[in-house]
Amino acid sequence: MGLVPIEGDPTHYLNRELSWLEFNSRVLAEAGSPDVPLFERLKFLGIFFSNIDEFFMVRVAGLQAQTLRTITEMPPDGLTPQEQLVAIGAKAHAMFDAAYRLWNEDLVPALRKVGIVLMKPEELAPDALTSLDERFWSDIFPVLTPLAVDPGHPFPHLRNKTINLGIMFAREHDGQEPGFAVIQVPAMLSRLMRVQVEGATRGFVLLEDVIARHVKQLFPSARIRGTYPFRVTRNWDLEIDEEEGEDLLATIQAELRRRDRGNAVRVEIGMGEGVETSVARLCRALKIDQRYDVYRVNGPLYLADLMTMVSDDDRRELRDEPFTPQVPQALRDPDDFFAVIREKDVLLNHPYDSFDPVIELVSRAADDPNVLAIKQTLYRTGGDSPILKALARAAENGKQVTTIVELKARFDEASNIQWARTLEQSGVQVIYGLLGLKTHAKALLVVRREKDKLRRYVHLSTGNYNPQTSRLYTDLGLLTANSEIGEDVTSLFNLLTGYSAPPRWNRLIVAPLGLHEAILGFIAREAAHARAGRKALIVAQMNALVDVDVIDALYAASQAGVDIKLGVRGVCCLRPGIPGLSDRIHVRAIIDRFLEHKRLFRFANGGEEELYLSSADWMPRNFHRRVEVLTPILDPEVKTRAGEILDLVMSDNMKSWELAADGSYRRVTPPPPPTPVVRAQARLMERARERAKQITDPLSRGGGRFHILRVPARPPPEPRMRKHGKRKRQP
């Protein structure tokens, strides 16, 4: 009674692109929050502009390409590519206007109050201006190349995301179209130039403003009518036909060279004279639509570059409270690292738990004579990673080392190619994944000889093997010596290197070999439990929810009586709260100090609760076009802790936003007393510190690889702590 038919109604789904813009609106709102320290507000503003760049370079570029060809498949929400572009343009322009109002009316005065100012050259005192002019002629002028645009000089190709100056000239006859020239602002020079400003501790001017001041000297015989800055964003997505490319590495390298010449998708234009008379000409040259693709900004272009104004300012009161990730108790410099994992599974909750144990596992494996093989997937790891160095050292030590390097990791392709070649030179067997699939799974396997048999040690994670992002993103990692999981991870690597899938998997669920079907099965199982009067609940945290089949299954489960709580950081195409369809579904998103990145799922299963961590969001690409892993959490203690983490995230009422049926988000208002106020990330930092205090004494001496104080302040809570309290033997 009163149930809404699920299939076939586009109004049941939110548009993916507009949902993504809603996510970025939440990021912008955090930049505008007075409760956030000033320098962190600047950080969020920089993230906003960086995200918008990526959105245009990939998503908008893709939609523009679709308008040029016949589309045979419509998105679930029913919007055509052109309709989406119109809606995106309206939303993105409003967001840009809001971002620059925030900059001009809020952040600039706030920065001035703490002694940081951004000046125009003409606002400087005479002595400072003279010094700036001298720096222009000595350090900047020799690098510049003025480019005239006329029948003999075609419009130059402008590189993606570079800042340029457009210069308008008067012609001999007033009726002629004004002349035009371009000066590319050198990307290899710092965009921010330090200057002395009376009353300020830090003064800056923009490089493009300094160049604009000297345009007359660059075109001495021309009559300058105006100068303004502009910035072009281009299609930056790779177009790779793996069936045609015999060598994937060479194909991607060729595409990287071509990518910088992709079609323009947007132009940002700053303040200056001569803009109105040249916008149409600029759009013709760039082949973009003046109505939708031109963004006029009231301030400096690409404000993310301005974050360096505070990068070396160490005033703690203007930043978040310092936090140092903690090494879990069981892994605090044990004599036998592998014995700890043999004894019980260990859950790492980054960034509250340190990433050091993962590095330590690879490093010890590289040097342990009993370790025979190391296998690892690498997606985004960073060029100077200690993991890469340990893998190279392991290969040089004669171990069998295999890495699955994903060359198609968007925006990291060039970096991945570079360090993959370095690994190959060290003797590592580098594999570039499966044809037509991205390897997005996060897996590490160490094979070790112990008492005349081989034992497998495994790390499975929701995030990349990247020490830098592990301090910024919330992710979960599982260390285990479970034999069934070890067999499955061995089969996973055999699949990736030899195209040989096992007849069956013991514990892991792998995409594209059944993950989609498994998730649909779990949801349907909860619906069956609800209809039978048994305990039924779905709690899931992920980055994106897009897959229509999964959304429809969640609608059906809601109709069956399943309570569904979703934490979706970014894109969510599900509409919660539709009467008769999604009454029992609630969707929240946290925007806080760390980027919520983990994928953690709980199914009540009639009282036999199951928890899983995964590398995969609930998106078609993750289910069908990527190699992904869903890992069950089997250890009872680890399962309890993972459940507590998920409960805490879902109960956040300080940094959460709630999704409404119309696709908009509203801040969750902290409740009045006596209901507790919950800020999940702050609670998790506090818990990590408390765990560290329980087993350390501030007066004791440090030591060991992690430099952790290890003398208990009171009797240890667990008997096995004594074993791990021994001092590490020195080599």
Select which of 12, 173, 214, 440 is catalytic.
Answer: 440
Residues 6+ apart with CB under 8 A from 290: 279, 280, 283
Q: Measuring CA to CA, how many Å separate 673 from each of 35, 209, 668, 669?
A: 20, 53, 15, 12
Q: How far apart are CA 238 and CA 256, in angstroms?
A: 7
For 9, the token pair is: 């109604």
Q: Which helix (H) or strand (E) holds 430?
A: strand 429-431
CA end-to-end distance (rounded Å), the chain: 73
Q: How far apart are CA 630 and CA 460, in angstroms?
A: 9
Asked if residue 538 lies in contact with residue 603, where contact means CB atoms within 8 angstroms, the answer is yes
Mapped onto helix, strand or coil, the DSSP state of residue 238 is coil
Q: Measuring CA to CA, how many Å separate 649 from each of 335, 462, 540, 545, 657?
A: 35, 16, 10, 17, 12
Q: How far apart are CA 16 and CA 70, in angstroms?
A: 20
624 carries an active-site annotation? no
Nearest to 158 by CA among 239, 211, 255, 231: 231
**Torsion-angle region of 576 (φ positive above 0: left; ψ -120 to 50: alpha; else: beta):** beta
Q: How far apart are CA 706 and CA 327, in angstroms?
A: 8
Sign of the CA dihedral 198, 199, 202, 205?
A: negative
Residues 6+ apart with CB under 8 A from 601: 522, 538, 539, 540, 541, 542, 611, 612, 613, 614, 630
User: Sheet containing 179-184: which strands, arranged edge to edge?
Assistant: 146-149, 179-184, 163-169, 224-234, 264-269, 294-296
Beta bridge partners of 590: 656
Mapped onto helix, strand or coil, the DSSP state of residue 78 is coil
Cis peptide before 5 (omega within 30 of 0): no
Residues 6+ apart with CB under 8 A from 233: 53, 56, 57, 160, 161, 264, 265, 266, 267, 268
So which residues are the catalytic ones?
440
